[in-house]
Amino acid sequence: HRRERGKKKRRRSKKVQRHRKAGAECRRHPMYVSFNEVGWTEWIVAPVGYQAFYCDGKCPFPISDYLNSTNHAIVQTLVNSVMPDRIPEVCCVPTELSSISMLYLDEQNKVVLKNYQGMVVKACGCR
């Protein structure tokens, strides 16, 4: 019975380790940009803020498929594993961005609705 308990404990600890390791991998993190905090809601009517997200984490070899790595990123990772002092690791960067619509007042107090591209991170990857 004790042996079985010990085995279960080891399995759990391995699972936790895996999760922690996965947490350090490149992924999307929340980053809320509040226009209210900087006093821009006087002229930005809507939204009062938006979730922009950011990318952070490591890109260890082998790079997972969901990280949208390029062939070059794989090669760079390989070379980095051989010569870590000379070649840096690949970067965790946004690979897919989406736009937001903003309703604001211009210099003549006219109401404008505009679509801005590349404002929200949709996916992160190793590039």
Partner 1 sequence: SSSSSSTSSSSSVSSSSSTSSSSSSSSSSSSLKVTATKKDNFPQTHDDLFKAFEANLLQIFGLKNRPKLNEKTFVPQYMWDLYDSHKQKKDPSAPTSGRGYLPANTVRSFYHIDPHFMDCTEENASTIMFNISNMMEEEILTAADLRIFWDPKFYEYNYRGAASSSDISIDNSYDSNYNITRDNNNKNMFKKLKYFPIRIEVHEVISPPRWGSSSECITRLIDTKVIHSNSNTSTWVVFDVHPAVLKWKQTPHLNHGLHIRLSTATKNPVSVQPHQHIRLKRTADIEQNEWQNSRPLLITYTDDGKGVPLKRSRRSAR
Nearest Cα to Cα of residue 27 among 84, 95, 89, 75: 95
* 104 sits near partner 1 (criterion: CB under 8 A): yes
Count CA atoms within 13 Å of residue 19 on its CB side. Answer: 6
Binding window for partner 1 (CB under 8 A); candidates: 10-18, 20-28, 53-61, 108-116: 108-116
Closer to partner 1 at the Cβ: 82 or 111?
111
Q: What minimum distance in Å lies between the beta carbon of 127 and partner 1?
A: 22
- Site mask, partner 1, residues 3-42, x = CB under 8 A? -----------------------------------x-x-x
Q: How far is CA 10 from the centre of its chain?
A: 31
Three-state SS for 24?
coil
